[in-house]
Amino acid sequence: MRIILLSFIFCLSSLFLFAQKKNDAYKLAIRKASAPIEIDGSIDDAGWQDTDVATNFFMVLPMDTSFAKVRTDVHMTYDDKNLYLIAVCYHALPGPYYVESLRRDFAFGKNDNFLLFMDPFDDQTNGFSFGSNAAGAQWDGTMYEGGKVDLSWDNKWTSVVRNYEDKWIFEAAIPFKSIRYKKGITQWGINFSRLDLKTTEKSSWAPVPRQFPTASLAYTGILDWDQPPPEAGANISVIPYVLGGVSKDYATDAPNEYRRDAGVDAKIAVTSSLNLDLTVNPDFSQVDVDRQVTNLDRFELFFPERRQFFLENGDLFTNFGYASIRPFFSRRIGLGVPIHFGARLSGKLNKDWRLGVMDMQTGKVGDIGLPAQNFAVVALQRRVFARSNIGILMVNKESLNYTSRTDSTKPNYTSYNRNIGLEYNLASSNNLWTGKALLLKSFSPGIDGNDFVHAANLQYSSRKWLINWQHEYVGRNYNAEVGYVPRQGYIKVNPQISYLFFPKSKHILSHGPQLMAFQIYNESFKKTDFQAYLAYIFTFRSQSKLTGWVANDYQKLLVPFDPTRFTGDTLARGTQHRWKSFGVDYISKPQSVFTYAFSSRYGGYYANGSRLNITSELGYRFQPYVSITLSSSYNYISLPEPWKQTTFWLLGPRLDVTMTNTLFFTAFVQYNEQLKNVNLNTRLQWRYKPASDLFIVYTDNYLPAPLSVKNRALVIKLTYWWNI
């Protein structure tokens, strides 16, 4: 109760953390185009000649105390259908640009790029991002939590990049139908970001402190419209697909299994800022395969959602809570079972209110005894003060035609599982203070008591200091069957502090210590876990980074556990384990065509054993068409009987070939010795029209020794984005 009281005091104290928006003085006037705009990468069109220019960018990195050395000029205009932007990105040094490839949604730090961040709701929290690298690869995503970008979102827009001797130019047309915005307002939040790897300079039009991303909506300037943006009109998109495929399970020597499927998604703009998504018989075979990791943790790992249907305004649902306390996790829906249909209404009701309502229906799987299930989620969010909000979430999972289970060989399920939650998200106007306070309760048949969650954190981020306090309580009976909560029955406290020095050095940009600790107790307040972690971090002006660290760990096992997650032999419940470890991490500068990164760990382990781990990633690019990466992880574990010495590898070579910015080929191999599996995934994607694709996906799974096929599959899928 004391912890809960402190959290509410923290919420009340946030009343004093708000002020006027920081960059109101930076305004770019936008007027209706005086002549047609052709998207060709040239600023000579008559329609651009009478537009205002955003120039004199500010440096963000390496330092935020001066104007940018690399010149960038930006113009914007519009007509009845599209918002237009052209960015003229001048070179400061001779030589070629740096890009990874022509692949969409590139890695920000490894590409010369220009990005637009816009807040069409003027709430400093939600928005959209569009941009390109210097070779023409597109970037688009939805913005949430005031400065994060979800690049899994994909929509219909066009752009061209043209390279000149002294500059490169990015020109884009963004249909009003592809974005959501508040009807009738004449001022949007706006900022532009430029990364030039030759000078290692990151800059923005409206100044942003170096400790924050240039995507931070707390620091946007103003896009000042001459009149309210035009209404998008009837805004209905229908996205059908047809699919054919064949698969074979060689392990059981079953005959070939053929697939002939069709389905459809639809997007209906209820208002200019509220969208209805519908889906019937969706298929997600074209989604990128998950990147495997070595799991030596006692709890389940998290893999992010990549399916398009769940992404727009997805933060309303999936960002409720913390990384390890998510009452809703959309990947629980359709996990190994078919989704028959679904609907989702999400977006802004007005400047202060956001709404999300989703309902999904899955089918019955008779061979494993799983019934049809319905998943319903409601999220409501109310903005308070300048950038904070209060949110409510309700989740209901219902098994249809439920019968109690007695066969232990079949998957277990309950007749229902429900969650309700309340959270307060703090974000001060200058973004120096952020935090969250959270309450959750679950409802499951036969469970009463110890089924709620409380957690809170408060973080201060200045140029030199980062200070964070977080605590969590998860009851032993708390149950989120449609969420991600890998651990129950604990109390956790987790302080963190770091400091940066900025020396006058030609090579070192900053350096400083980072100290973090966490302690976990059971509900009787007896300690079960502890870690103290001390690191020292060097960031170089070339953007490479070196980290050295030491750690001290204690763990008391609450259930039997195999420390190799490989042999099947387990340590007993209640045994206590202490060890010390240290390591070094390094990330090379992104400007080179050959890049590398590695992390290492050596020290004690369970049962007075030892563990060595070396993880690396090597990359080489023949820009802009071919990118080759090899990721690897090696573990050597030495333990007493019965484990002795255990070694295993995880290898993941990947080939990306981008013939154009609309034609991509990816081949990804994963050899996982821990799981005794070799996986091959290849995907050819042709974007023959904006947001319309042809996919050819081929997958293989092998036993590593002897190398023999377990199963393989081929899928061909065609989608078409049709605007009505």
Its domain, for residue 170, covers: 31-225
The pLDDT value given to residue 667 = 92
533 in Cβ contact with 541 (< 8 Å): no
Does residue 474 belong to any structural domain of this protein? no
Instruction: Note the pLDDT of residue 451.
Output: 93
Percent of the chain with pLDDT over 90: 59
* Weakest mean pLDDT among 83-92, 100-109, 611-620: 100-109
Return d(Cα 401, Cα 407) in angstroms, integer. 17
Q: How confident is the model at residue 286 (pLDDT cuts 50, 70, 90)?
A: low
Which of 18-32, 173-187, 428-442 is the least confident region? 18-32
Cross-strand pairs, 211: none
Considering only residues 331 and 653, tell me which one the structure prediction assigns the higher pLDDT. Answer: 653
The full DSSP string for 90-115 is E-SSSS----S-S-SS--GGGS-EEE
Residue 94 banded pLDDT, cuts 50, 70, 90: confident
Which runs of E-coded beta strand occur in 250-319?
257-271, 274-280
Lowest mean pLDDT among 17-26, 231-240, 660-669: 17-26
Predicted confidence (pLDDT) per residue in 30-72, tens digit: 999 999 999 999 999 899 999 999 999 999 998 888 999 999 9
- Which residue from 133, 121, 118 is spatially nearest to 87, judged by alpha carbons? 133
How much is the pLDDT for 501? 95
The confidence score (pLDDT) of residue 407 equals 52
User: What stretch of H or E contains 4?
Assistant: helix 2-13
**What pLDDT was estimated at residue 150?**
84
Model pLDDT, residue 298 = 64
Lowest-pLDDT choice from 36-40, 222-226, 497-501, 708-712: 708-712
140 and 49 Cβ atoms separated by less than 8 Å: no
Asked if residue 452 is part of any domain, the answer here is: no
Q: Is residue 99 part of a domain?
A: yes
Q: Which residues pair with 549 in a beta bridge?
A: 535, 583
Is the pLDDT at 221 greater than 70? The verdict is yes
Domain-embedded: residue 125: yes
**Element housing 193 (H / E):** strand 187-196
Say how far apart CA 564 and CA 559 lie, in whole Å.
15
151-164 pLDDT, tens digit per residue, is 878 888 999 999 99
Q: Is residue 365 part of a domain?
A: no
Mean pLDDT check: name the lowest of 43-57, 178-192, 285-299, 323-337.
Answer: 285-299
Q: What's the whole-number mean pLDDT along residues 230-236? A: 77
What share of the chain has pLDDT > 70, as a percent? 91
Count of structural domains within the chain: 1
Tell which residue, 481, 483, 434, 145, has the closest CA to residue 323: 483
pLDDT at 387: 86
Q: Is residue 614 part of a domain?
A: no
Residue 457, pLDDT > 90, answer: yes
Nearest by Cα to 517 from 534, 504, 501: 534
Segment 663-677 shows an average pLDDT of 88
The whole-angstrom separation of Cα 132 and Cα 625 is 15
Alpha carbon dihedral 313, 317, 318, 321, in 10-degree steps, equals 130
Angle at alpha carbon of residue 72, lines to 66 and 73, rounded to 5°: 120
Q: Is residue 192 part of a domain?
A: yes
Identify whether the C-beta of residue 319 lies closer than 8 Å to the C-beta of residue 142: no
Please say whether the beta carbons of 18 and 426 come within 8 A.
no
Assign residue 83 the CATH number of its domain. 2.60.40.1190
pLDDT band at residue 583 under the 50/70/90 scheme: very high
Measured between alpha carbons, how far is 72 from 201 in angstroms, rounded to an integer?
12
Mean pLDDT of the chain, nearest integer: 88
Torsion, Cα 501 504 505 511, to 10 degrees, reads 0
| pLDDT confidence bin for 14, thresholds 50/70/90 | very low
Instruction: Identify the residue with better confidence: 105 or 313.
Output: 105
- Measured over the CA atoms of residue 90, residue 95, residue 101 and residue 107, the dihedral's sign is negative
pLDDT reading at 233 higher than 80 = no
Q: Measured between alpha carbons, how far is 583 from 565 in angstroms, rounded to an integer?
A: 22
- Report the candidate in 668, 714, 710, 713 with the shortest Cα–Cα distance to residue 292: 668
Q: How confident is the model at residue 17 (pLDDT cuts 50, 70, 90)?
A: very low
Q: How far does CA 517 lie from the centroid of its chain?
A: 25
Q: Is the pLDDT of residue 15 over 50?
A: no
Residue at 460 is within a domain: no
How far apart (Å, rounded) are the C-alpha atoms in residues 168 and 451?
57
Higher pLDDT among residues 611 and 144, named by residue:
611
| Upstream peptide bond of 36 is cis (omega within 30 degrees of 0) | no
Residue with tokens 């390496």: 62
| Cβ-contact 361, 372 below 8 angstroms | yes
CA-CA distance, 653 to 479, in Å (whole number)? 38
Q: Identify the pLDDT of residue 630.
A: 94
pLDDT of residue 18: 45
Residue among 369, 296, 290 nearest 337 (CA) = 369
